[in-house]
Amino acid sequence: MQFINALVTSPEDLDFRIHLRNEFLRCGLKKILPDLKEKENEELDIQLKVFDENKEDDLIELSHRLNDIRAEMEYPFKNSLIYFNFYDTASENYFLSILQHLLLVRNDYYVRTQYYKIIEECISQIVLHCSGMDPDFKCRGRLDVDFTHLIDACVDKAKVEESEQKAAEFSKKFDEEFTARQEAQAELQKREEKIKELETEIQQLRTQVMNPLLSAGQPTSGAPPSSPPPPPPPLPGGILPPPPPPPPPPLPGGGVPPPPPLFGGPPLPPPLGGIPPPPGAPASLPYGMKEKKKYKPEVSMKRINWSKVEPQDILENCFWLKVREDKFENPELFAKLVRTFGTQMKAKKAVDDTEEKKVVLPKKRVKELRILDGKTAQNLSIFLGSFRMPYEEIKNIILEVDEKKLSESLIQNLVKNLPEQKELSALAQLKHEYDDLCEPEQFGVVMSSVKMLRSRLNGILFKLMFEEHVNNIRPGMMAVTLACEELKKSESFNRLLELVLLVGNYMNSGSRNAQSLGFNISFLCKIRDTKSSDQKTTLLHFLVEICEENYRDILKFTDELEHVESASKVSAQSLKSNLDSMELQIHRLENDIEKFPKTEDAHDKFVEKMTISFFFTKSAQDQYEKLSNMHNNMTKLYENLGEYFTFDPKATTIEEFFGDLSNFRTMFLEALKENNKRREMEEKTKRAKLAKEKAERERLERQQKKKQLIDMNKEGDETGVMDNLLEALQSGAAFRDRRKRTPRMQGDRQGFDPSSWRHICDYDCNL
């Protein structure tokens, strides 16, 4: 209000003061003035009084200007006032025309408001002219201003603001619905596992029930009908039975098969070696995969050091099974690769390790203590100095579990700096020497009388921070879940991987990494390390340029992988440890409530309040189970992603995997901008070169024409004199080397009198 009063009262012009005050009232001050006047604040009341008094003074001054008319500015009165000002005057027709034109404003929700906004702005600028003077009424020219683009811009802005607001609301609803969906999926998965366990248990019980019935129904004597007959007795005379038929002949290329076993003895070991397969025979690939095409570039190419996907690592649902990178084959692409990367790579420079400077903080001296050590006493002193509360008050708000006075920072610092129970027990023995102890030990004496102090603090802190823990855990799991789903659904990202595989196999032709079935996704971050032969571009910029020219649909993957960046900041280990800690604290709080000793202290309401809010632990248990199920679902999705892209999810953490993808996405967007900037610079250089060449060409043409004009008719030939002269006049060549004017003598007063030509200028203006 001070600021508003300073602005409104400073102008000397009455019209401008009223204009400023109306602007503030229209911007929302009029709505909050009644609430401000109800507040009990002397300084605010003074400013409000100043505002009202100045407003009243300005209205009185305005009323004096309007022939002492009352300064009540309600709508009916203002209309009557304006009408009587125009009635039966020359201005009435113009005012009527203005009202008629206002009726023609299009009745549209967005457009009408923007029209009146522009009309109000125009009237303000005309009436409150910056020069402080009336406009030039002599100007009778029609004010031809096209407001179409301004109206459209205002309408578009209003629609964009409304759309952004709706988008924010929908985004919030989507997050809520997605969270509910994830919780429902996790709950469904848990119920399905429970159903499978129950079905297995039912099957086991049925088997146990059926076995006694079957054994009771079997005969007690005789062999079962299904038992095989005994072997025949040996022939008399020790004659052996005939040998079994010989095995079929071996297939060509195979080893010699081992002989049949001799009369029931153990079989012979297999031979040490057989006939090897013929050279050049293709190795067997899983799931009907075909061997990758072998390329033979004309020149030696730079190698890209990726990690190949081995055939034995490929599973049935793997992404590399459906890769068809040969659809990107193009002679122009290969020729461009040869031109750009047809050389050897330079050795990378070693990165010097930076030494970290260790700052040693000077140790502060502390007084001698009787029980506590120096570090504990110092930490307690800092804690007590930060909160500045009486020791008994801190003790009582802990006993009473007063959530209005308790804060997370208070409990956290107390848990962190609280002495051990052994030290508290020793301090309790010194309560008769309380006045002789230092402040940290006095605080320890007061707090030593609280039973199960650390358990109380942990329970209170867990209750205060439970919602915060849930809100910290849930978004991370949602981000990873969404990122996993986006990766598997993104067709543009899959096409990008196919293009990278084709380019990599072509560049690695003739090396150990040639004809790769796939590569590790972490290689994407290293694409930028491969530079061209002239060191002016990289393989990443090359791929971006290829996508811009031929495969623009691939560029959409940066929008499709929206949650990769947020997933890269999630630590699976932290999520797991937080969930385990939450479960442990829930069980510990339940046990503390059940086993808490009875007390006669009237201030001790820990058991009472925690028992009343025991539903909190039940709700916390439900929340934990939902979070745990969501975590299991997230882990399963990430493991499926590891099978899909053929990497070990246990060796590569969630943070590392999505961190590599997020970095690659960022580098891809940067390369896109750098390519556009480079093209703009090349186009600018090209235009400058063409302009320079054109100027040089025109200069030479002018010199040639001038030379022709000077050398014209030296031999008496007067053919084409007028044509050449007209051409020289039109091109300006005839005026370039004119003789300079001689300076006028000082005594020569004859000159041009501007006043003598004024009637000519007036005549021209009249024309």
Q: Which range among 124-138, 164-178, 377-391, 564-578 shows the weakest confidence by mean pLDDT? A: 124-138
* Whether residue 647 has pLDDT greater than 60: yes
* Whether residue 115 has pLDDT greater than 90: no
Q: What is the mean pLDDT of residues 527-543?
A: 87
Q: What pLDDT score was predicted for residue 216?
A: 59
Banded pLDDT at 742 (limits 50, 70, 90): very low
Q: What is the mean pLDDT of residues 670-696?
A: 91
Q: What pLDDT score was predicted for residue 661?
A: 92
614-645 and 572-595 are packed helices; what angle lies between their axes, rounded to 10 degrees?
160
Q: What pLDDT score was predicted for residue 638?
A: 92
Q: What is the mean pLDDT of residues 261-286?
A: 49
Q: What pLDDT score was predicted for residue 273?
A: 43
Best mean pLDDT range from 85-99, 446-460, 525-539, 666-680 = 666-680
Q: What one-letter code names the amino acid at 564?
A: V
* Whether residue 261 has pLDDT greater than 70: no
727 versus 488: the higher-pLDDT residue is 488
Reduced to 3 states (helix: H, G, I; strand: E, B; else coil), residue 519 is strand
509 versus 617: the higher-pLDDT residue is 509
Looking at residue 235, what DSSP letter applies? P
Q: What pLDDT score was predicted for residue 664?
A: 92
Q: What one-letter code names the amino acid at 277?
A: P
Q: Give the CA-trace dihedral at 231, 236, 239, 241, to 10 degrees.
A: -20
How many residues are there in the chain? Answer: 767
Q: What pLDDT score was predicted for residue 162?
A: 79
pLDDT 10s digits, 648-680: 888 889 999 999 999 999 999 999 999 999 989
Q: What pLDDT score was predicted for residue 758?
A: 39
Q: Which range among 110-124, 555-569, 570-584, 679-693 shows the weakest confidence by mean pLDDT? A: 110-124
Q: What is the mean pLDDT of residues 706-719?
A: 61
User: In angstroms, rounded to a whole number, what is the distance separating the alpha carbons of residues 128 and 85?
Assistant: 19
Banded pLDDT at 711 (limits 50, 70, 90): low
157 versus 496: the higher-pLDDT residue is 496
* Whether residue 18 has pLDDT greater than 90: no
Q: What pLDDT score was predicted for residue 599?
A: 73
C-alpha 577, offset from chain centre: 25
Percentage of the chain beyond pLDDT 90 is 10
23 versus 125: the higher-pLDDT residue is 23
Q: Which range among 280-294, 342-356, 426-440, 577-591 shows the weakest confidence by mean pLDDT? A: 342-356
- Say if residues 530 and 538 touch (Cβ distance below 8 Å): yes
Q: What is the mean pLDDT of residues 87-92?
A: 78
DSSP result, 567-636: HTT--HHHHHHHHHHHHHHHHHHHHHHHHPPP---TT--HHHHHHHTHHHHHHHHHHHHHHHHHHHHHHH
Banded pLDDT at 75 (limits 50, 70, 90): low
Banded pLDDT at 279 (limits 50, 70, 90): very low
Q: What is the mean pLDDT of residues 702-725?
A: 65
481-484: long-range contacts at Cβ-Cβ below 8 A with a sequence spacing of 24 or more? 481/182, 481/630, 481/633, 481/634, 481/637, 482/178, 482/562, 482/563, 482/567, 483/561, 483/563, 483/564, 483/566, 483/567, 483/658, 484/634, 484/637, 484/638, 484/640, 484/641
- Say if residues 603 and 451 touch (Cβ distance below 8 Å): no
Beta-ladder partners of 519 = 308
Banded pLDDT at 122 (limits 50, 70, 90): confident
Take residue 645 and report the two structure tokens written for it: 């892209």
Reduced to 3 states (helix: H, G, I; strand: E, B; else coil), residue 453 is helix
Close Cβ partners of 720 (under 8 Å, ≥ 6 residues apart) = none
Q: What pLDDT score was predicted for residue 144?
A: 53
Reduced to 3 states (helix: H, G, I; strand: E, B; else coil), residue 215 is helix
Q: What is the mean pLDDT of residues 236-263?
A: 44
Close Cβ partners of 14 (under 8 Å, ≥ 6 residues apart) = 58, 61, 62, 65
* Whether residue 346 has pLDDT greater than 70: no
Q: What pLDDT score was predicted for residue 134?
A: 56
User: In angstroms, rounded to a whole number, what is the distance separating the alpha carbons of residues 36 and 29?
Assistant: 10
Q: What average pLDDT does the structure give for the chain?
A: 75
Spatial CA neighbour of 283 closest among 294, 291, 273? 291
Q: What pLDDT score was predicted for residue 720?
A: 62
Please give the model's pTM, rounded to 2 decimal places.
0.55
User: In angstroms, rounded to a whole number, what is the distance separating the alpha carbons of residues 121 and 151?
Assistant: 13
Banded pLDDT at 609 (limits 50, 70, 90): confident
**113: enclosing H helix or E strand:** helix 109-127
Q: What pLDDT score was predicted for residue 326?
A: 80
186 versus 701: the higher-pLDDT residue is 701
Q: What pLDDT score was predicted for residue 740?
A: 42
Q: What is the mean pLDDT of residues 465-478?
A: 88
Q: What is the mean pLDDT of residues 629-654?
A: 90
Q: What is the mean pLDDT of residues 567-579?
A: 90
* Whether residue 393 has pLDDT greater than 60: yes
